[in-house]
Amino acid sequence: MVEARDRAGNKRNFVGEGFQVAAYRLETAQGPVLAFAGAPDEGAPARRSDVNTGAASPFVLEAASWINQSPPTHPMRVSATARSFERANALATEVSRALAPLLLGDPARLQVQAQVQPDALELGTVQIAPVP
Protein backbone atom coordinates (compact mmCIF):
# COMPACT_ATOMS: atom_id res chain seq x y z
CA MET A 1 0.00 0.00 0.00
CA VAL A 2 1.21 3.49 -0.84
CA GLU A 3 -0.05 6.50 1.06
CA ALA A 4 0.24 9.80 -0.83
CA ARG A 5 -0.55 13.37 0.18
CA ASP A 6 -0.91 16.32 -2.14
CA ARG A 7 0.09 19.92 -1.34
CA ALA A 8 -3.36 20.63 0.06
CA GLY A 9 -2.94 17.83 2.60
CA ASN A 10 -5.41 15.41 0.99
CA LYS A 11 -4.47 11.78 1.63
CA ARG A 12 -5.00 8.88 -0.73
CA ASN A 13 -4.09 5.19 -0.35
CA PHE A 14 -3.18 2.91 -3.25
CA VAL A 15 -3.20 -0.86 -2.79
CA GLY A 16 -1.21 -3.15 -5.05
CA GLU A 17 1.95 -5.18 -5.41
CA GLY A 18 5.02 -3.96 -3.55
CA PHE A 19 7.68 -1.94 -5.33
CA GLN A 20 10.83 0.02 -4.56
CA VAL A 21 11.29 3.70 -5.34
CA ALA A 22 14.71 4.99 -6.36
CA ALA A 23 16.48 7.48 -4.11
CA TYR A 24 14.88 10.91 -4.29
CA ARG A 25 15.18 14.47 -3.01
CA LEU A 26 12.34 16.84 -2.28
CA GLU A 27 12.88 20.53 -1.56
CA THR A 28 10.71 21.92 1.26
CA ALA A 29 10.53 25.32 2.95
CA GLN A 30 12.47 23.86 5.92
CA GLY A 31 15.18 22.28 3.75
CA PRO A 32 15.81 19.17 1.65
CA VAL A 33 14.20 15.80 2.34
CA LEU A 34 16.17 12.82 1.04
CA ALA A 35 14.99 9.20 0.99
CA PHE A 36 16.49 5.92 -0.17
CA ALA A 37 16.40 2.16 0.31
CA GLY A 38 18.43 0.94 3.26
CA ALA A 39 20.57 -1.68 1.53
CA PRO A 40 20.81 -1.30 -2.21
CA ASP A 41 21.59 -3.76 -4.94
CA GLU A 42 25.19 -3.78 -6.12
CA GLY A 43 26.12 -0.35 -7.50
CA ALA A 44 23.01 1.53 -6.32
CA PRO A 45 23.45 5.08 -4.93
CA ALA A 46 22.34 4.34 -1.38
CA ARG A 47 25.51 2.47 -0.41
CA ARG A 48 26.71 4.58 2.53
CA SER A 49 30.46 4.15 2.59
CA ASP A 50 33.40 1.97 1.75
CA VAL A 51 34.25 0.34 5.07
CA ASN A 52 37.85 -0.43 4.02
CA THR A 53 38.85 3.09 2.91
CA GLY A 54 36.42 5.18 4.97
CA ALA A 55 35.45 7.01 1.78
CA ALA A 56 31.90 8.35 1.69
CA SER A 57 29.60 7.07 -1.03
CA PRO A 58 28.38 9.40 -3.78
CA PHE A 59 24.92 9.36 -2.14
CA VAL A 60 26.26 10.52 1.23
CA LEU A 61 28.32 13.22 -0.47
CA GLU A 62 25.28 14.45 -2.40
CA ALA A 63 23.09 14.38 0.73
CA ALA A 64 25.70 16.42 2.63
CA SER A 65 25.88 18.91 -0.24
CA TRP A 66 22.13 19.50 -0.21
CA ILE A 67 21.95 19.69 3.58
CA ASN A 68 24.86 22.16 3.67
CA GLN A 69 22.81 24.56 1.56
CA SER A 70 20.40 25.01 4.50
CA PRO A 71 21.28 26.97 7.65
CA PRO A 72 23.93 24.96 9.56
CA THR A 73 22.08 25.44 12.84
CA HIS A 74 18.88 23.71 11.72
CA PRO A 75 18.59 20.19 13.22
CA MET A 76 18.25 17.27 10.81
CA ARG A 77 16.80 13.82 11.49
CA VAL A 78 18.07 10.57 10.02
CA SER A 79 15.07 8.28 10.29
CA ALA A 80 15.28 4.61 9.36
CA THR A 81 12.32 2.27 9.04
CA ALA A 82 12.73 -1.51 9.10
CA ARG A 83 10.97 -4.68 10.22
CA SER A 84 13.00 -4.81 13.44
CA PHE A 85 14.22 -2.12 15.81
CA GLU A 86 17.77 -3.50 15.63
CA ARG A 87 17.91 -3.13 11.83
CA ALA A 88 16.30 0.33 11.84
CA ASN A 89 18.60 1.61 14.59
CA ALA A 90 21.73 0.19 12.93
CA LEU A 91 20.77 1.71 9.58
CA ALA A 92 20.02 5.17 11.00
CA THR A 93 23.21 5.13 13.07
CA GLU A 94 25.35 4.03 10.11
CA VAL A 95 24.02 6.78 7.84
CA SER A 96 24.33 9.40 10.59
CA ARG A 97 27.95 8.46 11.28
CA ALA A 98 28.87 8.64 7.58
CA LEU A 99 27.09 11.99 7.16
CA ALA A 100 28.16 13.85 10.35
CA PRO A 101 31.76 14.68 9.39
CA LEU A 102 30.61 16.12 6.04
CA LEU A 103 28.09 18.61 7.46
CA LEU A 104 28.68 22.25 8.31
CA GLY A 105 27.96 23.26 11.89
CA ASP A 106 27.69 21.12 14.99
CA PRO A 107 27.46 17.39 14.19
CA ALA A 108 25.11 17.06 17.18
CA ARG A 109 22.38 18.65 15.06
CA LEU A 110 21.87 15.20 13.49
CA GLN A 111 19.20 13.21 15.31
CA VAL A 112 18.73 9.47 14.83
CA GLN A 113 15.30 7.86 14.83
CA ALA A 114 14.45 4.18 14.38
CA GLN A 115 10.94 3.12 13.39
CA VAL A 116 9.51 -0.40 13.17
CA GLN A 117 6.95 -1.34 10.53
CA PRO A 118 6.10 -5.00 9.94
CA ASP A 119 5.60 -4.38 6.21
CA ALA A 120 8.78 -2.31 5.66
CA LEU A 121 11.31 -3.29 3.02
CA GLU A 122 13.32 -6.23 4.31
CA LEU A 123 16.54 -4.20 4.50
CA GLY A 124 14.88 -0.93 5.51
CA THR A 125 14.51 2.61 4.23
CA VAL A 126 16.12 5.90 5.28
CA GLN A 127 14.81 9.45 5.26
CA ILE A 128 16.96 12.49 6.03
CA ALA A 129 14.85 15.56 6.75
CA PRO A 130 14.76 18.78 8.76
CA VAL A 131 13.30 18.40 12.25
CA PRO A 132 9.86 20.04 12.23
Over the stretch 27-79, which tens digit does the pLDDT of each residue have? 888 888 888 887 543 333 334 444 434 556 777 788 888 888 877 778 899 99
Exposure pattern of 19-43 as b/e (b: 16+ CB <10 Å)?
Answer: eeeebeeeeeeebbbbbbbbbbeee
Q: Please give the CATH architecture assigned to the domain spanning 19-130.
A: 2-Layer Sandwich (3.30)
- Work out the percent of the chain whose per-residue pLDDT is above 70: 82
Q: Where are the chain's structural domains? A: 19-130
State the pLDDT at residue 87: 92
pLDDT of residue 21: 66
Q: pLDDT tens digits, residue range 93-130?
A: 988 988 999 998 888 889 999 999 998 888 888 899 99
**Identity of the residue numbered 71:** P
Is 0.85 topped by the overall pTM?
Answer: no
